[in-house]
Structure 1
């Protein structure tokens, strides 16, 4: 962004566009309104989709909503005739709970939406695509206008007052078209990742239920044999430390549940300690780190495989390390429904934890070591493909973020 004597212009522009961007209030470039009240008694089993904030948030991410409510066609066309309904290039914004998520209407498929939960931008005099991008970019400014103490909410009154910078319409359309191409490529990558994840989930279900079996040079492997985790490996409880032991850096990294993200280790939320640590509280390559105790029941059982570069880290008291020679296979088994089923069966009634005794008592059917290796190699290859697409998405999102910073004021 460059400051000129008479205004602001972005540091990155398409050729042929000059001049400063003009400040305009939202209330002068769009009409802000909402829908008419739809009551519980108006819902029907099938008809016209009725969207709430949840569905709008999903649709903006190209996720097909699965829990859709419906109103009758008669009710929909009644609202359309009397009050109007969202049209192509109108914008909806979530206004309660999750604030500021925006969805531009990209087709003419009929739907209606919940009053109060969503704010409707219509009769937009600027480029709708440009406004959609601008509203996403200025989300923090939008959130600052919210009211309420327990549950924040956006109001049309305050939104109308917001002033943002706009170039001439031709430049808006150029920017919108270019960024639409970027978003299309991002969405293709996200869909690719989602399809890979769905395929892996389906294959895990089939593999661990033995519906799909691998071959040994064209021959069948032997029957799977039931064993407990305690028979084939050992569990270790994590390190207990106090707030006085925690330092900002230059200490020993302690792995906790927040370090496990989507089955891999993440280092965005780290804790370091300076204290004497027993050898058993350090992780080793191929250990499986498991969240065994936590305030959130949903986190119990999530796990990650320790790699060579992670050695030297300790693990916290809410975590358990499982160690055996079969961990390449078990790492994938621990992400399957049959593992999570046993986790849920052994959770305490009031305390969210899996005890070491319970974990060691988990029973699973085990294939031969050779078939384990084939299963682990197959599922690891899928993980690598998913990780590669995730990296592509992250790089493209970072690139887009840089573009937005340079293309807007």
Structure 2
């Protein structure tokens, strides 16, 4: 029985040279509740977010939401103190515990539990321990959701009975250092990804004419002529072919993901087979207008079918093909700008449903499209395609690193 218990105190993956079982301690043996109240009139209030950790309310809410009349009763939080937030969410099912890494003092509502830890445990190790779900079972067994469904209630006396699995200090520090480096890599790729997204947004604004002009703010060397304004109907034709051949795969057009299969997007096909014969056929490189609006697409997205195969779409969508007078890739990126939105707002309406943007086909194909010569179109398209590839690369690296972290948090702790 002792041998079996020792096996449960050994992680699945660990650093070479460490074989002893971990020790189980109570949080109260390693930490003390911070009971100091704000007698010195500290003005900066912190909050503990499941996603962002301990942050200043000034940054998190863009202003301080503290009632000054109550701030004297708030708990002082020192650098490296830990904070338990009873608010639950999909990210933190029993409330997050995070460390104050802001490097300065602040105060927090007495709804939070603030505690400091001693030198028997690495602060960085404990920080990463609280990113696992190892302590959740104790909270679920000993706490409850309280009077409010978004709060997780547990008394201080029980909270500090929480079991913490601890290896020797040297192993703690190796584990902590590993996850710290991993977090640094994740942050690095997140910043690169964010910068590339900002760059793309800026270039979409500057490399296409705006405000009625036929000259973009930035263009490739050697091109000086004004762009030509054409109507979409001069460059494209509506796809009117119905599903007479019984195609089974239904596509959808998402503002975020573009043209995708319903099987992938919804994890199942939501099409009513009785109606599928009336659906429009979508060929590779066809464009699709979706009338559903969102915060991402204020008048519905227009995306290209890049799946490389045929499918069908509800007749609510407008499907069209374009001719060789315009680069398909150029037009794809053009529809990622907001240059065509004003036409839609002026000529269309939100229809009977507030989440739909209604416009007749005859008016839709009157949409003005700004076009440079084909060579310049292809250079612009190639530039944005390379930028999209870089964004996708960093996004995939981010996903990979996050998956590695999730797996290692599961396997490197008891």
Normalised by the length of structure 2, the TM-score is 0.73
Note the C-alpha offset of 1:88: 2.5
Q: Which has the larger radius of gyration?
A: 2
Matches of 1:35 and 1:254 in 2, distance apart? Answer: 62
Specify the SS of the correspondent of 1:18: coil
Matches of 1:293 and 1:130 in 2, distance apart? Answer: 47
Matches within 5 A, 1:3-402: 4-8=4-8, 9-31=10-32, 49-52=44-47, 57-58=51-52, 65=59, 67-70=61-64, 85-96=76-87, 98=89, 99=92, 100-114=95-109, 116=111, 118-123=112-117, 126-138=121-133, 141=136, 144=140, 145=143, 147=145, 151-157=149-155, 159-160=159-160, 162-208=162-208, 209=210, 210-215=215-220, 218-220=222-224, 222-235=225-238, 252-256=248-252, 261=256, 265=260, 267=264, 269-272=266-269, 277-278=276-277, 281-293=280-292, 301-309=300-308, 311-316=309-314, 319-325=317-323, 326=326, 327-340=328-341, 346-348=348-350, 350-357=353-360, 359-402=364-407
| Richer in helix (by share) | 1
Confirm or deny: 8 A CA contact 1:50 1:112 kept in the other structure. Answer: yes
Specify the SS of the correspondent of 1:92: strand
- Judged with a 3 Å threshold, the aligned counterparts in structure 2 of structure 1 residues 405 and 66 are, in CA distance, closer, same or farther, namely closer
Matches of 1:348 and 1:234 in 2, distance apart? Answer: 24
- Judged with a 3 Å threshold, the aligned counterparts in structure 2 of structure 1 residues 317 and 17 are, in CA distance, closer, same or farther, namely farther
Confirm or deny: 8 A CA contact 1:254 1:270 kept in the other structure. Answer: no
Note the C-alpha offset of 1:137: 1.5
- Judged with a 3 Å threshold, the aligned counterparts in structure 2 of structure 1 residues 176 and 342 are, in CA distance, closer, same or farther, namely farther
Q: Please give the per-residue CA displacement for 1:278-326, whole angstroms capped at 9, x wherever unaligned.
A: 59623222233443226x56555245432253x1333346644343244
Matches of 1:31 and 1:218 in 2, distance apart? Answer: 69
Confirm or deny: 8 A CA contact 2:229 2:371 kept in the other structure. Answer: yes
Q: Please give the per-residue CA displacement for 1:196-220, whole angstroms capped at 9, x wherever unaligned.
A: 11111111111123443434x6242
Matches of 2:53 and 2:340 in 1, distance apart? Answer: 32
Confirm or deny: 8 A CA contact 1:30 1:121 kept in the other structure. Answer: yes
Confirm or deny: 8 A CA contact 2:280 2:315 kept in the other structure. Answer: no
Which residue of 2 is the match for residue 406 of structure 1?
Answer: 411
Note the C-alpha offset of 1:160: 4.4
Confirm or deny: 8 A CA contact 1:237 1:317 kept in the other structure. Answer: no
Note the C-alpha offset of 1:86: 2.3
- Judged with a 3 Å threshold, the aligned counterparts in structure 2 of structure 1 residues 150 and 395 are, in CA distance, closer, same or farther, namely same
When the two chains are superposed, the root-mean-square deviation of aligned CA atoms in Å is: 4.2
**How many residues of Structure 1 are paired with residues of Structure 2 in the alignment?**
375
Structure 1: which 5+ residue stretches go unaligned?
241-250
- Judged with a 3 Å threshold, the aligned counterparts in structure 2 of structure 1 residues 151 and 336 are, in CA distance, closer, same or farther, namely farther
